[in-house]
Structure 1
């Protein structure tokens, strides 16, 4: 059973720009206009539990081990759909809203791509 599940509903024109830095920005449909161009827009859904290190985040068919969880990731994901995914393997989050994942090639995403956390 998934702790969290959502779909990407839209992508900002510049969202893929951050992939070169190993990062994806997620934001719910209430994304502020100045951030909309840089975000992957998702449905805002509640997190059913607590996201923790060692769990798995899956984007489409690609899975990534969670290596660090910022202090506000659970709250922000449930309330705003807003977190930063960093694919760098770091064991300490740089910012409170960052979810760090194993360092691996970033997934190809499009509208309709599912994101789950187990």
Structure 2
């Protein structure tokens, strides 16, 4: 499998657990505005090597999730700000331009130091 994107979660905002019930995580680079950082998984902003597409695999720690839809600005926002939303609801249509939708499954709270990857099948 080809790695399209890889980063590390450096810090979890104190309000991240509030979104577990919504089955979503918000990613942001280290430069996240302070009013948003509390709700985000703060990551390293890294280069994206290719397109992020439906059917690709998101790996969060040791869990794999199939991508079901990708918003129009995901690549731009992830590559420049590290800012996207991950929604684990199985939607085939991106609700917002900065959202990656993934298969609907239970999600675990990641820890600081956890690796996040997007892989081509």
Compute the RMSD of aligned alpha carbons: 0.6
In structure 2, list runs of 5 or more residues that go unmatched. none
How many residue pairs end up in the alignment? Answer: 118
Q: How does 1:21-36 map to 2 (within 5 A)?
A: 21-36=22-37
Q: Which residue of 1 aligns with 2:60?
A: 59
Q: Which residue of 2 aligns with 1:6?
A: 7
Indicate if the aligned counterparts of 1:59 and 1:116 stay in contact, CA closer than 8 A. yes
The CA deviation string for residues 23-73 of structure 1, in whole angstroms up to 9 with x for no partner, is: 000000000010010000000001111100000000000000000000000
TM-score (norm 1): 0.98
In structure 1, list runs of 5 or more residues that go unmatched. none
TM-score (norm 2): 0.96
Q: Which residue of 1 aligns with 2:93?
A: 92
